[in-house]
Copies of this chain bind each other. A is one copy, B any other.
Amino acid sequence: MKIVVYGLGIIGASFAAALKRAGHTVYGKNRSERPVKLALQRGMIDAKAESYEGAEVVILAIPPVAAMRELEEGAFPGGCIVADICGVKECIERVVCSASRIYRYVGTHPMAGKETSGIESADDRLFEGKNFIVTECAATDPEAVEIVCSLAKDVGFSRIVRCSAREHDRKIALTSQLAHIVSNAYGKSSLADSVSGFTGGSFQDMTRVGGVDEALWTELYLLNSEALLDETQALIHRLEAYCTALRAKDGERLRALLLEGRLAHERCFSEK
């Protein structure tokens, strides 16, 4: 199966390398030349892709606005499976479903990453044990989904969930987008510069993903602003309840708030 990966950043290059390790023939494509050369040198791809000609599967591992453009303008062969890996799905589905396409689109979101980006951070084991989300609509080709899911298993994902783009976008607003906002905001405390030696695991966790690529995340946030705004406002509202209890030095209320959070935490994790 000829697979082309377009976009050799951390996700695309990790996909390419993991697919190649699993025995697939992988062609790499990138806007700039350097990542292609690096991917070749490091054996992450078999060859440079000059075009999509002959491709059975194309993985678009580029930011959402660029992915939408490519889905409109790319010269994909008829019947070719095209899967994007963007962190927002409804806006992309809208582009793909707005006209009849000769390719078969499958929306995906690999729930893996690092606090660093670029091909230098790529790793053919990045997806091991991670979640892989596939989004489907009425127009989705079931065979294309099966093939994409089988590739996801090949690269190491341990769990695959299938849902609508809408469900994806609502849930990801909480599990990923808001987490990155909180982390980004957390480290802006006026004290954050002087806490060296005063930190434990909870501070590391809270700030780990705070160094976001602002161009990429601005795109992601604007393309899912409604759901993200809902979740952010709801979190602010919940945090205000602790402030009210602290201000009143109301131990009973504080204890009730913490208990509520512990029970929510247990429900959330017992389900996993």
Q: A residues engaging B (CB < 8 A)?
A: 111-113, 130-131, 133, 159, 161, 168, 170-172, 174-176, 179-203, 205-215, 217-218, 221-222, 225, 228-229, 231-236, 238-240, 242-243, 246-247, 249, 251, 254-255, 257-262, 264-269, 271-272
- Which chain B residue has the least Cβ–Cβ distance from A203? B175
Known pairs A171-B191, A186-B235; list 10 more (Cβ under 8 Å): A171-B198, A175-B200, A176-B202, A179-B205, A181-B239, A182-B239, A187-B261, A187-B264, A211-B262, A221-B246
A212 CB contacts on chain B under 8 angstroms: 258, 261-262
A111 to B200 CA separation, bound complex (whole angstroms): 5
- Which chain B residue has the least Cβ–Cβ distance from A208? B205
Does B222 lie within 8 Å of A254, measured CB to CB?
yes
How many copies of this chain does one complex carry? Answer: 2
A174 interface neighbour in B195, B246, B271, Cβ under 8 Å? B195
A184 to B259 CA separation, bound complex (whole angstroms): 9
Does B198 lie within 8 Å of A172, measured CB to CB?
yes
- Which chain B residue has the least Cβ–Cβ distance from A161? B197
Known contacts: A198-B111, A221-B254, A258-B214. The answer to whether A240 contacts B249 by CB under 8 A is: no
A264 interface neighbour in B159, B188, B238, Cβ under 8 Å? B188
Does A262 lie within 8 Å of B196, measured CB to CB?
no
A251 to B228 CA separation, bound complex (whole angstroms): 14
